[in-house]
Amino acid sequence: MSDTFVVVGGDAAGMSAASKAKREDPELDVVVFEKGEWVSYAACGMPYYVKGEVEDLENLVAVTPEEFRDERDVDLRTGHEVVGIDPEGETVTVEGDGETFDQPYDHLLVATGASAIEPPFEGLGLDGVFTIHDMDEADAIENYVTEHSPDSAAIVGGGYVGIEMAEALSARGADVHLYEMLPHVLQPFGDAVAEVVEDHLREQGVELHLDTAVSGFEGAERVERVTLDDESHPADVAIVGVGVEPNTDLAADAGIELGETGAIATDEYSRTNYENIYAAGDCAEARHVVTGEPDHVPLALTANRAGRAIGQTVVGDPEPVGEIAGTAIVKAFDLGAARTGILDEERARDAGFDPVSVTISAPTRAHYYPDGAEITVTLVADRESGRLLGGSVVGREGAKRIDTVATALTAGMTVTELRNADLAYAPPFSPVWDPILTAAKVLEGKVAGE
Amino acid sequence: MSDTFVVVGGDAAGMSAASKAKREDPELDVVVFEKGEWVSYAACGMPYYVKGEVEDLENLVAVTPEEFRDERDVDLRTGHEVVGIDPEGETVTVEGDGETFDQPYDHLLVATGASAIEPPFEGLGLDGVFTIHDMDEADAIENYVTEHSPDSAAIVGGGYVGIEMAEALSARGADVHLYEMLPHVLQPFGDAVAEVVEDHLREQGVELHLDTAVSGFEGAERVERVTLDDESHPADVAIVGVGVEPNTDLAADAGIELGETGAIATDEYSRTNYENIYAAGDCAEARHVVTGEPDHVPLALTANRAGRAIGQTVVGDPEPVGEIAGTAIVKAFDLGAARTGILDEERARDAGFDPVSVTISAPTRAHYYPDGAEITVTLVADRESGRLLGGSVVGREGAKRIDTVATALTAGMTVTELRNADLAYAPPFSPVWDPILTAAKVLEGKVAGE
C-alpha cells in the first residue's frame, strides 16, 4: 500500500508541496484539507483587485481546485477543516460536509497560514471596517467600495498592506488617511526608505498620521469616523492592516513546538519536533541567511519554496528548504521600495555584528539619458569582517536591484566583493557604476575607517 | 621630492586613476596626456546623441578638463600624444604644442583605449561612411545626418554598436539595413537572445541581412550604395561597427608584453611586465571571474574600476582591480538584452567545464498584473559541480536582472545556491518565482540529470 501525505491548508506552501510530491511520486496518496473555498491564490494581488487593476478575483488564483484534482491528481477537499492532530496515532481529525472523521497520514504538512491581527479597537465590528488577509475579505472590500463610493478612507497601519491599500482606495476616489503608531511607515525597510515613501505618499494626497494611535471607529451601523485619543476624522471605509500572526493553535494543541517568534519551529527540512510532521508557509519559522537564526517572515516565495522542497523530501529525496533573507518589495504609488537582510542596527548587534551603514542617492540611468529617476540605496555591513548584512532600495524605477543585494547575502559576500561585482552598464539602464556598486564603494570606505 | 604618476590617455581608466591617486595623495604629481581634446566621456552615450535624445555632445562628458585641472588638481594636457615609452629610463616622450619633450615618471599607466576596426572594404573613404568610436566621429555622424536626412542607412555589424546605431538612425527617419557576417546578431549574447532581438528588429522595420558579408561601398563622392558579393542596396549613410581592437602599439614598442587576446597582459593589480607600468581600460586584459584566465572585454565599468584601483595602488595602498564577468547590456529599440559569464559551450569546454544550459520564458510581473512583459532567461552551469557559468536575459523590461546572475558568478555560486536566493516578489515587480529563479530551478533539474 502506498504512503499518504496529508496537507493542512491549501495555499502556497500546501499546494506547492502537494503538487511536487504527487509529481515526484504518482503512487503517493496526497490529500489536502482546506477549510475555505479558495486555494493557491495570490494574496499579494488583492490590493490590485480592490484598486480595479485586476478584473476578477479568480485571476489571482494560480491553479484552480479542478486543475489540482483533475490534472495533478491531488485529493483536494475544500470546505474541510482539520480540527485535531494526533502525532502518536498519525491521524488528523477533519470536519467537513457535515461530518467529522479521522484521516491517517504517513507524512503531514501543517500549512495553516497566518491571520490578520485584530487590535482591541472599539467599533471593529461596524460595517465598512475590514482587515485584508483572505480572498473573501478582498471581495467584501471591493463590493463595499463599489456600493458606497467612500469619500474618505482610514488605513490603520503603514506596513506594505496599508500602503498598497492606500494606493488602491486613492485610485477608487477616496481621500486617504493613513495612521501609523510608529514614527515611520514601512518599519522593516528602515528610515531611509520610509522618508522617501512618506514624501511621495503626501505628494499623492495621502494624509499621513505618524506616531499616531487609533483607538477605534464610530458610526451608527456603518463606520463614519476613526477615533484617536483626542480627535476623530471622517472615514467612510476603514482597513486595519497592522500585521499578521501565525495560525498555530492546531499545531500547539498537538504538542508541536513553537519557536521564539511564536511561529512553528522547524529544521532545515521544515520538519517540526515530530519527524514526519512538517510546517511551512506563514505559520512557520525559517532560518535567516545572515544570522543563521530562526525567523518569521511570512512571504509568498518562502512558502512556495518550502512547499516544493517538502514535496520532494516526503518522497524520499530530502531537500533543504533554503534560508531566507527577509527580502521584500512594495509598490507605493509611483515608487518601488525594497529591503533585504538585516537593516536594523540593534538587531544586527543582537546577532553579534558591529553594523556600519551608508545611504546614497544616485540616478538609475546615465545622467544624460532621458527619463531616469533617483534611487536611494542603503547598505549595511559588519565592521570587522566587512560582511554584507542587508540593504534597501527606493525609487521610481529599479527597486528590483535589491535582488543583487539579496544574492550577495545568500552568497555571504563582503562589501568589497559586492563592490567588485561586474554589473551591467549601458546608458538606458544604469550609470557606469550601478547605484548598488556606488553604495558598496562608499560603505567599503566607511568599514575601512576612512 | 614627490613622486610623479603619468597617465597616457584621458578617458575612463586614465582619468579614474588620476583622480583617485590625487585624492588619496595630494602631494603626488599627476600628469595626464591625452592626444585628443575630449576626456572622461561616455562613448556608450554616443548613439543616443545621434538619435537625438542627448542634446549636446558635451552632456556625455562626466568631468570637464577644467574640473580636472582646477578642482582635482590633475595636470591634464589635452592635445598631447605620448609617442614613446622608455621603461629603463622611466620617461615617456610626448608631442604637443608643436614640441617634443620627455616626461619622467615614477608610475606610468597606459590607458590608450581601443579603436574601431576598419575592415578592408572598398569605398571606406567615401563621405557618409563612418565608424563610431570617439566623440569627433559621433559629432560627424550627427552633422551628416542632419545635413543630408538620409532615406537609407547601412549598418555593418550586428554587435551592440550596430544595434544601437540601427535604433538611432531609424529614429532619424532612415530605412535601416543591418548586415552581419555571422548567422546571428549579438553573438556574445548567445542564440536565445539573438533570436528575440532579431524578431524585434524586424518588427521595428530594420531589414536584417544575416550571414551576409559586405564588400564595400559605392558612390561618387558621397556613399550611395552598399555592395555585397552579388548585389547592392541603397545607402545614404553607412556605419561600420564590426568591433574594436586594443591600441597596443605604444606599449608593444616599449617591450610591454601583450597577452593571447592581443591586449596588454596584466596581473591582478593591472601591472604589466614592468613593475611600475600599469595598463587598464580598453587596451588591457583583465581576469575572468569564471575561467580565471585573462580576457579582453573592453567595457566602461572595467576601465573605471581598474583605474580607481590603480590610483590607490600607486599611492602605496595596493588594491586588486577585480575580475570581470563580461557582463553587458544593450537596448535594442523597446528591448533590453543582457549577458554575463560564459555562454558559449565551446568556450566553456575549453575552460574545463561540461556546460549544461536552459532557456525559459516567463512573465516579468505577476500574471494578473497589468503591463508585464515576457522575459527570456538562459542560464549555463557546469554539470559536475553545478557551478553557474553564465547567463543572458532579454525582454521589454527587466534586463537588469542580469545583475543577479553576475553577482552569483562573482560569488562562485552553484545553480542550486542561486535557486535558493531570496529574491524580491510583489505582483508589480515579479512573479512569485522570479524568472531568474525559474531558470535556475529548471537548470538544477537538468544538471541533476532529471
In a domain, B327, yes or no: no
Same domain? For A391 and A434 the reply is yes
Residue ending a domain, among B196, B213, B242, is: B242
Q: Among partner residues A12, A403, A430, which is closest to B401 by beta-carbon distance? A: A403
Put simply, the answer to whether A302 touches B427 (Cβ < 8 Å) is no
Cβ–Cβ of A400/B402 closer than 8 Å? no
User: B237 and B151 in one domain?
Assistant: yes
pLDDT of residue A433: 97
The rounded distance, in Å, linking the Cα atoms of B102 and B262 is: 28
Beta strands in B163-297 (DSSP E): 175-179, 207-209, 214-218, 225-228, 232-234, 237-240, 244-246, 277-279, 286-287, 294-295
| Residue A218, domain extent | 118-242
Nearest CA to CA, how far is A299 from chain B (Å)? Answer: 9
Same domain, A128 and A233: yes
Query: A428: which chain B residues are within 8 Å (Cβ-Cβ)?
Result: 48, 331, 336
From the CA of B44, how many Å to the nearest CA of chain A? 7
Q: What is the pLDDT of residue A1?
A: 66
If you average pLDDT over residues A403-407, what whole number do you get? 98
Q: Nearest CB to A404: which of B368, B407, B425?
A: B407
Residue A403 has its nearest CB partner, among B42, B409, B424, at B424
Residue A443: give its domain's CATH number: 3.30.390.30
Do A419 and A353 reside in the same domain of the chain? yes
Averaged pLDDT for residues B308-326? 97
In a domain, A146, yes or no: yes
Angle (CA) B428 B432 B436, round 5°: 95
pLDDT exceeds cutoff 80 at B86:
yes
Distance of CA A302 to the CA centre of its chain: 9
Spell out which residues of chain A touch residue B62, defining contact as CB-CB under 8 Å: 367
pLDDT (0 to 100) of residue A28: 97
* ipTM surpasses cut 0.95: yes
Average pLDDT of every residue of chain A: 97
pLDDT band at A241 (very low <50, low <70, confident <90, very high): very high
pLDDT bracket for residue A373 (50, 70, 90) = very high
Question: Searching chain B, which residue's CA lies closest to the CA of residue A334?
Answer: B428
Catalytic residue (choose from A3, A36, A42, A44)? A44
**With an 8 Å Cβ cutoff, are B411 and A426 in contact?**
no
Please tell me whether residues A146 and A231 are part of one structural domain: yes
- Cell 564588400 found at: B215
Residue of B nearest to A434 (CA): B301
Q: Please name which of B394, B385, B285 lies closest in space to residue B340, comparing C-alpha atoms.
A: B394
Residues B289 and B429 in one domain: no
A267-293 residue pLDDT tens: 999 999 999 999 999 999 999 999 999
Is residue A54 domain-resident? yes
Residues forming a β-bridge with B127? B222
Mean pLDDT for A57-73 is: 95
Which residues have CB under 8 Å from B72's CB, separation 6+? B18, B19, B22, B23, B63
- CB-based contact A160:A171 (threshold 8 Å): no
Q: Which residues of A touch B298 (CB under 8 A)?
A: none
One domain, residues A158 and A297: no
A-B Cβ pairs (cutoff 8 Å, strict):
214
Task: Decide if B294 is inside a domain.
Answer: yes
Average pLDDT over all residues of chain B: 97
Domain assignment present for A321: no
User: What number is the average pLDDT over the span A26-34?
Assistant: 98
Q: Are residues B198 and B159 in the same domain?
A: yes
In chain A, residues with a C-beta closer than 8 Å to the C-beta of B330 are 426
Reply yes or no on whether A283 is catalytic. no
**Which set of grid coordinates corresponds to residue A355?**
553594523
Catalytic residue numbers of B read 44
Do B110 and B249 lie in one domain? The reply is: yes
In this prediction, residue B1 carries a pLDDT of: 66
pLDDT, tens digit (0-9, with 9 covering 90-100), for A409-445: 999 999 999 999 999 999 999 999 999 999 999 999 9
Instruction: Say which CATH number the domain at A15 has.
Output: 3.50.50.60
Mean pLDDT of A307-318: 97
Least confident range from A132-136, A144-148, B339-343: namely A132-136
Q: Is the pLDDT of residue A133 over 90?
A: no
Residue B321 lies in a domain: no
B236 and B263: one domain? no
Listed residues A262, A280, A313: the one ending a domain: A313
Grid coordinates of B287: 581576469
The nearest CA of chain A is from the CA of B229 a distance in Å of 35
Residues B374 and B391: beta-carbon distance below 8 Å: no
- d(Cα B419, Cα B444) in Å, to the nearest integer? 8
Rg of chain A in Å (alpha carbons): 23
Amino acid symbol at B62: A
Distance from CA of A435 to the nearest CA of B (A): 12
Q: What's the CA angle centered on B115, arms B109 and B117, to 5 degrees?
A: 150
The alpha-carbon gap from B220 to the nearest alpha carbon of chain A, in Å, equals: 37
- The answer on pLDDT for A312 being more than 70 is yes
Do B407 and A426 count as a contact with CB atoms less than 8 A apart?
Answer: no
Do A302 and B422 count as a contact with CB atoms less than 8 A apart? yes
The domain boundary, picked from B242, B265, B298, lies at B242
- Tally the domains of chain B: 3
Query: Would A45 be classed as within a structural domain?
Result: yes
Q: Do A368 and B301 touch (CB under 8 A)?
A: no
Residue of B40, B51, B400 for testing the chain A interface, max A β-carbons within 10 Å: B400
What is the pLDDT, as a whole number, of residue A2? 86
pLDDT at B65 over 70: yes
CB contact under 8 A, B430 and A406: no
Burial grade of A255 (CB within 10 A; 0-12, 13-18, 19 or more): middle
Question: pLDDT tens digit string along B143-169?
Answer: 999 999 999 999 999 999 999 999 999
Q: Is residue B252 part of a domain?
A: yes
Looking at the structure, tell me whether residues B85 and B105 fall in a common domain. Answer: yes
CB B168 within 8 A of CB B47: yes
For residue A414, the cross-strand partners are A387
pLDDT reported for residue B133: 86
Residue A372 has pLDDT above 70, yes or no: yes
- Considering the domain architecture, whether residues B129 and B99 belong to the same structural domain is answered as no
CA distance A41 to A34: 12
